[in-house]
Chain A
Amino acid sequence: MHSSNLGESPAPLVDVNGLVKVYEDKSHVPVRALSGLDLEVQSGEFTAIAGPSGSGKTTLLNLIGGLDAPTSGTVTVAGQDLGQLKRSTLATFRLNNLGFIFQAYNLIPVLSAEENAEFNLLLQGVSKTERRRRVTQEFSDLGIEPDLFGRRPAKLSGGQQQRVAIARALVSRPKLILADEPTANLDSKTGARLLDKMRDLNERTGITFLFSTHDPMVIARARRLVILRDGEIASDDLRA
């Protein structure tokens, strides 16, 4: 087993122990997506989880994000064992601690760019003034022009949608952002620019980023690279 070499450090932000996930495929044949995986992620990391298709990257991210339940093993995020939480409490935990960036952007189609970005803040009960301040700030940082604020997702390009999705993930000040193939649907130039923004945010704010990817651009920018193969960690390297 490969393990991260982070030395003496405080309690990890993410602590995955003996994680097993077995799915049933369409023919009801059990498929083992993760096979007793252990992983620790410290606060402030900018980590990519790479590997071939079917290696368990997205499954691992979904389990860390509490979007799915493991067959066995535990996932602890910010000191909280997610398996101990009820659906409702888990939702609140996600709201206050996690941000998601998906390959398909996953914006809410009936809300404008601005409303999508402030969606989580509204759920958190943040005041209108503060919501507007944070959204304007993040949009500005991500280069979203004011004339796009009122547009619905269908009227935005892929790059613009992904920037709104990143803004949505950032405005609620999460401890951890889980990004599942965030550049897969973007052209390389847009992808590179967004990755640089995320890395910059990571350096400036200390927000932890965990990517699932096989995009070389993401891998190149990650400071830690975890390679999965057949549901197990094949390598785990820290970079400069």
Chain B
Amino acid sequence: MSARAAWWNPRHFLVPISAVAAGAVDFLRTLQMLGRVAWRNIWRNPRRSWVLISAVAVGVFSFLGTLAYVDGFSMQLIDAAIRLQGGHIQIAGQSYFESPVIHTTVRDVQPVETAVQVLPEVEYLIRLAAPGIMNSADQAAGVMILGVDPARERAFGQVPSLITEGAYLSDTDEGIVVGAALAEQLRSQVGERIVLMANSLDGELSAAAFRITGLFESTSEDFDKTHVFLHRAEVQTLIGFADREATSIALFLERGVDASPLATQLRAALAGQDLEVLTWRDRSPLMVMMDETMNLANIILVVILFTAIGFTLINSFLMVIYERLREIGIMMANGVRPSQVRWILYLEAILMVAVGIFAGTLLATGLIAWWHANGLDLSAFSEGLRAFGSGSVIYPRVDLRHVATGYATILVMVSLAVAWPAWKASRFQITAALHHA
């Protein structure tokens, strides 16, 4: 066989692959034995081990408890904002998100609906939006007029579930639903008439009177003071929109579904139609920043908690290696490599921490499940929480990615804490270690 032809011969790869596999088997076999030594070492001084395990369990419990609260608060905030303000993905006319004017619309919603309907488990709401002024008998306020399809809103929207007085729009009535805060500001009540004024597409001032059918109260007072809901047909008449025209199509996804790939899919499906498809992350950098800040805060919390626990680990493992100096000497004399001595101590720490993580997680899971079912009632701070756009009852929950990041951080912290004692142990002079009493 020529040298040129030989390189692709599978035999050339089989030898290194089998060597790597054999090496891996040897490594795992050695690890199993070192792990056995490490596990038994843990239980030689049960009291000390339980103190360490308890410290880790309390740390993990505190971390998960805090994480559940922070994640629950954060997810509730983001979820409420998404549900109220345009969904996980929003489709609008090109440049509408930069400059939301009534002339920039989706001219024909039909192809958009066709593209959206093929996506699995996605619901959507078609909306018309226009700025206007709402007048009561003696007050006026600037509002965003939203034209909606009441049947679909009742099925998938947020506002119908937030009605505190009166009722949401029926399929036939010609009423208006306003925020309770706005009604209070305009000194209006359910059943009273108000007048909406807005610029139509042709630049003329347009006005119409509506009877208030219901008041809503969301988690955001700002939203309540600035948004009113009408039939889409009423907004079409008021502003002059065409029948199949929409300002935006809001898509709502199941919890935990990543919006980005779906948005990419939609962009491809709607290419060439002068439309823009944005996820909530694209539209709300502030929320993204808040989400990322929360993640960072979680990691900082773990680092702080486990720095304290790390010092306990360092202290314990320094005691451990001096207690076991002779054994370390025996093992090294018998051919255990310095790296394997370090492995024993790492495994011992990791196994102890794993038990602590398991215990802490078990306890925290119970607490979080109870919290999640009953909610954490923070009514005392309801005004403050509403300012954030959150409800006064927080339902703690955890984002598993944050838990995984937290656990990974714990393992890194533990490894760092054990690194010094482990390094010291692997550098002992064997004869001195063997003569240690």
- Give A residues with C-beta under 8 Å from B: 62, 65, 67-68, 87-88, 91-92, 94-96, 98, 100, 102, 106-111, 115, 119-120, 122-123, 125, 168
Contact = CB atoms under 8 A, between A and B. Distances in A.
B30 A122 contact: yes
A87 B25 CA distance: 24
A92 B431 contact: no
B332 interface: yes
Contacts of A119: 33, 331, 334
Contact of B330 (A62, A87, A106, A122): A106
B187 interface: no
A96 B337 CA distance: 12
B117 interface: no
Given A91-B335, A95-B334, A119-B33, 16 more contacts: A62-B430, A62-B431, A67-B431, A88-B337, A88-B338, A91-B332, A91-B337, A92-B337, A95-B335, A102-B330, A106-B330, A108-B327, A108-B330, A109-B327, A123-B30, A125-B25
B345 to A, nearest CB: 14
Contacts, number: 72
Contact of A67 (B41, B326, B339, B434): B434
A110 B37 contact: yes
A110 B44 contact: yes
B430 A68 contact: yes
A110 B434 contact: no
Nearest to A89: B337
Contacts of A95: 334-336
Contacts of B139: none
Contact of B333 (A96, A106, A123): A106
A228 B430 CA distance: 23
Contacts of B254: none
A93 to B, nearest CB: 8
A96 B40 CA distance: 26
B40 A110 contact: yes
Contacts of B237: none
Contacts of B430: 62, 67-68
Interface string B2-30: 00000000000000000000000110011
Going nearest first, the 4 A-B pairs with the smallest beta carbon separation are A95-B335, A110-B40, A125-B26, A91-B337
Nearest to B429: A68
B44 A125 contact: no
Given A68-B430, A102-B434, A120-B334, A88 B339 contact: yes
A110 B41 contact: yes
A87 B29 contact: no
Contacts of B25: 125
A129 B56 CA distance: 39
Contacts of B327: 108-109
A91 B339 CA distance: 10
Interface string B336-374: 111110000000000000000000000000000000000
21 contacts: A67-B431, A67-B434, A68-B429, A68-B430, A87-B338, A88-B337, A91-B337, A91-B338, A92-B337, A95-B334, A96-B335, A98-B335, A102-B330, A108-B327, A110-B40, A110-B44, A111-B40, A119-B334, A122-B30, A122-B33, A123-B340
A238 to B, nearest CB: 29
B333 A67 contact: yes
Contacts of B338: 87-88, 91
Please indicate which of the listed interface residues B26, B44, B334, B431 has the most CB atoms of chain A within 10 Å of its own CB.
B334
Please indicate which of the listed interface residues B25, B327, B335, B430 has the most CB atoms of chain A within 10 Å of its own CB.
B335
Nearest to B26: A125
A67 B151 CA distance: 84
B321 to A, nearest CB: 15
Contacts of B434: 67, 102, 106
A184 B337 CA distance: 29
B99 to A, nearest CB: 67
Given A122-B29, A125-B30, A108 B37 contact: yes
B275 to A, nearest CB: 63
Given A67-B430, A109-B327, A111-B37, A120 B335 contact: yes
A77 B16 CA distance: 31
Contacts of B29: 122, 125
A110 B333 CA distance: 17
Contact of A94 (B41, B326, B335, B339): B335
A68 B40 CA distance: 29
A3 B330 CA distance: 32
Contact of B335 (A92, A108, A110, A111): A92
Nearest to B334: A120
Contacts of A168: 334
Nearest to A62: B431
Interface string B293-337: 000000000000000000000000000000000110011111111
A100 B333 contact: yes
B26 A108 contact: no
B23 to A, nearest CB: 9
